[in-house]
A = this chain, B = another copy of it.
Amino acid sequence: MHSEFDLINRFLAPASTGAAGGVELGIGDDCALFEPTPGERLVVSVDTSVADVHFPAEAPAEAIGHRALAVSLSDLAAMGAHARWCVMSLTLPEADGDWVSTFAKGFHALCDTTGVALAGGDVSRGELAIGVTVMGEVPPAAALTRAGAKPGDCLAVTGWLGGGAGGLARWEAGDRDLAMPLLRRYLLPQPRLEAGMALRGLASAAIDISDGLLADLGHLRHASGVGVELSPEALPLADGLVAALGEQGARQAALRGGDDYELLISLPPECLDEAQQRLAALDLPLTVIGRITAEPGLKGAEASSPGWQHFPGETP
């Protein structure tokens, strides 16, 4: 058994400031203290991952640590932000040092590969949940938002779709081998931070796909006040998805499944080549899946599913 302070000091604090700069004071005081880059805007998001709501409680602890950070970083990616710092709020049913140590390993590993410093946090008793607040920076007026899509723009998506839903299906079917690509897509999503930064100045709007393509496309359409003609046959399907779910299931997973953490963007047609070249340099495809229209609404796919919601209500 470990005390709260012991857990923080032993597992969360080490290597917490890593290679990332700008941390004047990390874990161990009342607050963390950062030196922002002069002239940049501060970009902040929080996501909480609750056991057996957002991820299986019995998933590998290292994957849970990775995933909790990844889903928050995905929001920074969607703004085109440079990820800098994070703070974590961890609630745990018991102080299991082995579990926390492995969890922290997954969290810190993604900190290292993304250059993010874990600079503060708290640990409480409660059901297993991880809240991660991420902070990044972006030059003034360079942030990508949901609101800039224009009629005539291309609609495009990074990477591959349906892997989150496909991986969940394989997990529920009993697969546990994290070498399986679909399971990796579900449990070890890669936030598209470099892609988001590469799309600054090219994308007219952006959102990350966490609730499912159609649901997140709905947010982008409404924020921009535009419509979309979708080309469902163009959706880039995740590796192994058709084998796992069949042709029809794979299409539905790509359209409506959550947890893909790809970027959905709009961009003027004349920017497409440049955007695809920049992402190719990151080994990431950028696939055109539709067109922005002036008339509102969605053509090319039934828009009936609201995507994942915690509290499905009368006014989705």
User: Residues of A with Cβ closer than 8 Å to B?
Assistant: 1-7, 24-25, 28-36, 38-48, 50, 53-54, 75-76, 78-79, 81, 85, 87-89, 91-92, 94-95, 119-127, 129, 131, 133, 135-136, 138, 140, 143, 145-147, 206-208, 223, 306, 309-316
State which of B38, B44, B87, B309 has its C-beta within 8 Å of the C-beta of A5: B309
Known: A46-B88, A46-B131, A120-B44. A36 touches B36 (CB 8 A): yes
> Which residues of chain B are near A30, meaning CB under 8 Å?
45, 75-76, 78-79, 145-146, 206-208
Q: How far is the CA of A315 from the CA of B10 in the complex (A)?
A: 11
- 6 A-B pairs whose Cβ atoms sit less than 8 Å apart in the complex: A30-B208, A46-B121, A48-B122, A50-B91, A54-B124, A95-B311
Q: How far is the CA of A92 from the CA of B50 in the complex (A)?
A: 11
A31 CB, min distance to chain B CBs, angstroms:
4
A5 touches B129 (CB 8 A): no
B309 touches A50 (CB 8 A): no
> Which residues of chain B are near A1, meaning CB under 8 Å?
311-314
Q: How far is the CA of A11 from the CA of B154 in the complex (A)?
A: 35
Name, among A24, A25, A43, A131, the residue most crowded by chain B CB atoms within 10 Å (CB to CB): A131
B79 touches A44 (CB 8 A): no
B125 touches A310 (CB 8 A): yes
> Which residues of chain B are near A147, meaning CB under 8 Å?
29
A3 touches B316 (CB 8 A): yes
A45 touches B33 (CB 8 A): no
